[in-house]
Amino acid sequence: FSPGLPRRAAPARPGSASFSAGRPSSRLPVSSYQSTGLIDVSQSNNQRDVYTMEQWAAQYGMQKAPGVELYSDDDADWQLLTQAPIAAGSTVLFVPSSIVLGSNNIAMEMGNALTQAEAALVAMEQGLAERLPLFRLMIKILAEWDAGADSPYFPWLNSLPKQFYNGVSMTDACFECLPPYASIVSMNERNAYSRFLNAVRQGFVPLSQNTINDDRVVKWAYNVALTRFHEVWEPTRQKFIAPMADMLNHSAEPNCEIVFDAEGNCYVQALYDIQPGSLLTVSYGDPTNPTPLFAKYGFLTSDCKTIFCKAIHLDSQIKELGYEYQDLLFQYETGEIAPKVWDIFLYELLQTNDPNSADQFYQACKNNDEGTKQQYHDHYFQYTLEALKNHVYTILGDVDQLNMKAQSYDLATHPRVPVILAHNNLVRDTFSRTAVLLDQMG
Ligand SMILES: C[S@@+](CC[C@H](N)C(=O)[O-])C[C@H]1O[C@@H](n2cnc3c(N)ncnc32)[C@H](O)[C@@H]1O
């Protein structure tokens, strides 16, 4: 779950002297996929046995640096913290490959049945080929869930959350309370899930009918896979889930990173010296934009410094100028707007009113001709300013409406309302500051 991080050569396995004892690892047996003692994934039962999972992982050879502990302040969300200092570069956690779920191994284990299910998935939508490693993880989780207490992964499954707040779990009522960009990104997550469900229901993979027909179970397995994987790109692209390492939360300024060696062993390493009492964190992705993290993981980072431009009506201008959303940032604390946001607004104005100038401005942007760009910006400043103000005040008005709608929902049936409001408030706070800045400009 830290796609942006480069894979590094794996460090030497930590000397056992400085690590809490763990028995030598042995490969987990493949479960026989029979249903006994199924785990209740209904949201009403959010009990999680994380400590038995920790003991189970230790029995298979998981090792932690002294002082590393599971921690929760609400019994719902768990993470790792350290009670002892940890030196930069040292290994915080080691998870042996014997308990790591890897999409390549799953493909080998499940063979032809999985290949057929994957073909059915890709036939629905070519772009889903990218999501095959995730599909494999989901199928494996379902197979282990199907095996119930007979699954060698039972303690891990029993430690997992039942409640999710991401786009996959959202209803149409939730999407109606989000600004367009957040709504689209969240809906994409749910749509990908629907395709996965459809592929599972084609019946190729050896899962019980009860499992296949239970939307809650399939959705839970999908959410577990989606929110807990770590992607590696070498020697081939694949996704892993390493029990215990999957307890690390996200931070925009993480103090740890996750690496896998060629055998699939997982190492969590300290990026800096870490003080006692610190939470251990990794990066789940682009820290400049909280919305995709919100849609995928269902939380809003408290340490977010920027949001992306919400001008999705200018998508074609963004594409034409070759800009990325990462270039189009609004600063949370100051409301400042990135220069390229001004470019796309001006470009649209010129296209509508003065196509020749639009062409010249386009060339200047493409050639990084800052002088010419500045001349256009100076000349049309009042118009661009008006267009931006209009956009910002429209978004502010919309967000107020969306929040009013979200607040009218019953929390018992809409548990995602708080995170939706937190998302919208981040947008509102940032844009309020931007509005003040724009008003000061004229
Ligand atoms: C890989 S799991 C991490 C372990 C997880 N906290 C747990 O209780 O099992 C990812 C999930 O942790 C939660 N999470 C991670 N980072 C977070 C953060 N900075 N703030 C709030 N929740 C976070 C989200 O629910 C996310 O989907």
CA of 309 to the centre of ligand 1 (A): 25
Query: Do residue 20 and residue 164 come from a single domain?
Result: yes
CA of 245 to the centre of ligand 1 (A): 12
Query: Do residue 137 and residue 89 come from a single domain?
Result: yes
Residue 388 lies in a domain: yes
Residue 58 lies in a domain: yes
Query: Do residue 269 and residue 325 come from a single domain?
Result: no
- What's the number of domains the chain is made of? 2
Query: Do residue 138 and residue 247 come from a single domain?
Result: yes
Query: Do residue 362 and residue 333 come from a single domain?
Result: yes
CA of 352 to the centre of ligand 1 (A): 45
pTM for this prediction: 0.88
Residue 290 lies in a domain: no
Range of the domain at 277: 1-284
Cβ–ligand 1 distance for 291 under 6 Å, the answer: no
Query: Do residue 280 and residue 367 come from a single domain?
Result: no
Cβ–ligand 1 distance for 79 under 6 Å, the answer: yes
Condensed to tens digits (0 to 9), the pLDDT of residues 126-176 reads: 999 999 999 999 999 999 999 999 999 999 999 999 999 999 999 999 999
Buried b (16+ CB within 10 A) or exposed e, 398-423: bbeebbeebeebeeeebbbbebbbeb
Query: Do residue 157 and residue 34 come from a single domain?
Result: yes
Domain boundary among 216, 249, 284: 284
Query: Do residue 210 and residue 332 come from a single domain?
Result: no
ipTM attached to this prediction: 1.00
Report the percentage of the chain scoring pLDDT > 90.
Answer: 81
Residue 422 to residues 55, 176, 178, 294, 298: CA-CA distances in angstroms? Answer: 36, 15, 11, 10, 11
If pLDDT is split at 50, 70 and 90, which confidence band does 226 have? Answer: very high
Query: Do residue 267 and residue 351 come from a single domain?
Result: no
Residue 392 lies in a domain: yes
CATH of the domain at 67: 3.90.1410.10
Cβ–ligand 1 distance for 161 under 6 Å, the answer: yes
Cβ–ligand 1 distance for 301 under 6 Å, the answer: yes
Query: Do residue 328 and residue 232 come from a single domain?
Result: no
CA of 239 to the centre of ligand 1 (A): 18
Condensed to tens digits (0 to 9), the pLDDT of residues 9-58 reads: 443 333 333 333 333 345 565 554 445 578 889 877 778 999 999 999 99
